[in-house]
Structure 1
Amino acid sequence: MDLRALKTFEACVRLGHFQKAAEELQYAPSTVTLQIQRLEADLGVALFVRDGKRVIVTEAGQWLQHEASALLKSIGVIRQTVYDIASGDEGAVRFAAIEPIASQRLAAVIADFYKTRPNVELTMEVSGSKSIIDKVRAGELDFGICSAPSTNLLLEFEPLIEERLGVMVNVNHPLADRDGITASALAGLTVLVKESNCIYRELWETTFRPTGQHAFTCVEVGSFFVIQQLVKAGLGVGIVPIYSGLELEGSSVIRPFVDLDPVLGVGIVCRDKKFLGKASLLLMDAIKDACMPVSIEQNL
């Protein structure tokens, strides 16, 4: 059936007059008559009975009007939803980010994005770089915020920020009074580091191992926030990215290394932007706007 003819038919029944339907739809009266005739011919039934100047809806026409109203309403919803998805006001976004950038940089961005687009279905994971890259590659995530993937994976990567590792110490620890910490200052201490498959642990190992200084006790901890609490409780020092939000006022501070430069590039990874939905692209832009202007010095 021609949807235009169906819309014309619904207007004729609802308004009770062909002329009024023509005025509402901005058609010529002859166009309305022609569309009704074609609709009746298509269905093989009479939808109206002509009685002089009056037009009476048949029983079949009454049933069709009920169904047509529901159908046209559904089509209106479909049109609006498709438009909203294309404009980024609806749709689904599946993404992931590593810690601590997820909590320290992205939480506010995501909250603002959701306030302006509450109909977008957001799914956010917090995971490690390897897991995020694997899921992006498999199509389980639209994009991820993590370290750079291997070039042989053929994924797109757009750098956002550079993160540096520092030493988190209790405010009562002797190292807390220093502006910077040398690698040798860790000798004899208990050093809290992330688990072995963490990209920050890998960065720590590759940066620190060449110095040949390993005279400390190493304890693996699966969370930066647990490291934060352990440092607060007086159990050693922690190797963490330098974020002021990880410090606990009155309990712990983070100091940079003065003789090491452990830097990790973090950015957006995806398969191909041209296959992403508008909502995903808008969220990626919001994340870039929030991260790109921030210099390394500000991060420190």
Structure 2
Amino acid sequence: MHFDLPDLRLFIHIAESPSLTQGARRAFLSPAAASARIKALEAQLDSRLLYRDSRGVELTPAGERLLHHARLIMRQVDYLKSEFTDYGADAAGHIRIFANTTAVTEFLPEVLAGFLAERPGVSIDLQERLSRDIVRGVLDGSTDLGIIAGPVEVSGLQVLHFSTDRLLLAVPKNHPLADRQQVTLRDTLEYQHIGLHEGSTLLSFLREQVEKLGTKLSLRIQVSSFEAICRMIEAGVGIGIIPESAAQRHSRTMQLTTIELNEPWAVRERSILVRDLEALPGSVRALIATLMPERDSKTP
């Protein structure tokens, strides 16, 4: 059985697009040419790969299996190309990262800025995803690495711990809880919260914890960043649960009081998820070494 790499890349584009037309456009093909190639691929595999209707395309079970393998194959091809560039093994290539909200907004921008400044041949696609999507993305090869907070219980992945953070409650200086040394999540629920936007990892996580208590999180307003949450808290709009790293930075310029959360899930281990560290291209391993300098110094 023979596979053409352009056909596999076309199939990935279509699978990741809402329609065959848009997938074809990403592959720089006409819709008719793209349709003919997919039909030829289906004939070769003797399996239907896509359901087509007026709303777009949907993968069949066979299509889902092919997508998984096609992503892995094309990513390995990209890895191979990056290893044989004029820049060197770790100075060129494209890296895709799926990460949680805290990573995307708090520490990755600074880390990636320095990393990219030293490697003009590297480009990065950073996407904020929910924890389950980060795990799934690493498993199916749709991302090179994932950055996640909290425990990871899944086989087939390497989990590399690189730092620890904790969640705190932030309140205005004159808030009724401001004098408390510790609070539980239940203690906070009689007050309105300031939350992140829909789809953020932290908001989804907090809602899960609140649902376990048999109630719902009361949100006064949702904003796009931890800085915006802190500004709202400072103005007396509500209270918010944020990472300690964000609280420390913004409390330098804002009037906030932070209180320890007496919850087992408040302390969170940050980890990098990969399928196989040694199989990654040099640019990805170099980024991991940047995030984990202590580990890199211990590597013989």
Fold equivalence (TM over 0.5): yes
The structure with the largest helix share of the pair is 1
Alpha carbons 1:207, 1:261 under 8 Å: kept:
no
**Letter of the aligned partner of 1:283 in structure 2?**
L
Structure 2 distance, partners of 1:167, 1:254, is: 6
> What's the offset of the Cα at 1:277?
0.9
1:291 Cα offset (Å): 10
The answer on whether the counterparts of 1:114 and 1:120 sit within 8 Å (CA) in structure 2 is yes
Aligned equivalent of 2:273: 269
For the residues of structure 2 that align with 1:291 and 1:169, how far apart are their CA atoms?
37
User: Match for residue 134 of structure 1?
Assistant: 136
- CA distance in 2 between partners of 1:120 and 1:191 (Å): 40
**Matching of residue 151 in structure 1 with residue 154 in structure 2:** yes
**Structure 1 residues 150 and 259: CA distance shift in structure 2, 3 A:** closer
Change (3 A) 1:202 1:239: same
Summarize the Cα distance change of 1:213–1:179 in structure 2 as closer, same or farther, 3 Å threshold.
farther
Residue 101 of structure 1, aligned match among 100, 103, 107: 103
Counterpart of 2:192?
190
Cα distance in 2, alignment partners of residues 279 and 97 from structure 1: 18
Matched, 1:233 2:222: no
Change (3 A) 1:80 1:92: closer
Q: Which amino acid aligns with 1:236?
A: G
Hey, what's the Cα distance between the residues in 1 that align with 2:295 and 2:108? Answer: 9
In the aligned structure 2, how far is the partner of 1:251 from the partner of 1:233?
9
Map of 1:249 onto structure 2: 253
Whole-angstrom distance in 1 between the partners of 2:129 and 2:169: 22
**Distance in 2, Cα, partners of 1:131 & 1:187:** 28
SS across alignment from 1:87:
coil
In 2, the alpha carbon distance for the partners of 1:80 and 1:230 equals: 45
Distance in 1 separating the partners of 2:186 and 2:169: 12
- Mapped contact 2:131–2:148 kept (Cα < 8 A): yes
Q: 1:135 to 1:258 in 2, by over 3 A?
A: closer
- Residue 258 of structure 1 and its aligned partner are, at CA, apart by 4.3
Q: 2:89 aligns with which of 61, 74, 87?
A: 87
Would the alpha carbon gap of residues 220 and 179 (structure 1) be closer, same or farther in structure 2, given more than 3 Å must change? same
Count of residues in Structure 1 that have an aligned counterpart in Structure 2: 213
Rounded to whole Å, the distance in 2 between the matches of 1:107 and 1:290 is 20
Q: Does 1:282 align with 2:286?
A: yes
Structure 2 contact 161–271 (Cα < 8 Å) conserved: yes
What is the CA-CA distance between 1:166 and the residue it aligns to?
1.2
Q: Is the 8 A contact 1:146 1:268 kept in 2?
A: yes
Match of 1:163 among 162, 165, 168: 165
The residue type paired with residue 113 of structure 2 is A
Change (3 A) 1:264 1:112: same
**Residues 254 and 118 of structure 1, relative CA distance in 2, 3 Å threshold:** farther
Q: Match for 2:154: what amino acid?
A: T
| 1:271–1:258 CA distance, 2 compared to 1 (3 A) | closer
Distance across 1 between alignment mates of 2:244 and 2:295: 15
SS of the residue aligned with 2:162?
A: strand
Structure-to-structure mapping, 1:26-105, within 5 angstroms: 82=84, 84=86, 86-105=88-107
8 Å CA contact 1:224–1:240 kept in 2: the answer is no
2:126 aligned counterpart, secondary structure: strand
- The answer to which of 221-230 and 265-274 deviates more is 221-230
**What's the CA shift string for 1:43-98, capped at 9, x where partnerless?**
xxxxxxxxxxxxxxxxxxxxxxxxxxxxxxxxxxxx99825455312222221322
Shift of 1:114: 1.3
AA partner of residue 286 (structure 2): L
Percent identity between matched residues is 21
Contact 2:129 2:200 in 1 (8 A): no
Q: Match of 1:113?
A: 115
Alignment-mate amino acid for residue 255 of structure 2:
S
1:8-23 equivalent positions in 2, closer than 5 A: none
Q: Is the 8 A contact 1:104 1:245 kept in 2?
A: no
TM-score calculated relative to the size of structure 1: 0.57
**What CA RMSD, in Å, does the superposition of the two structures yield over aligned residues?**
3.7
| Contact 1:157/1:269, CA 8 A, preserved across alignment | yes
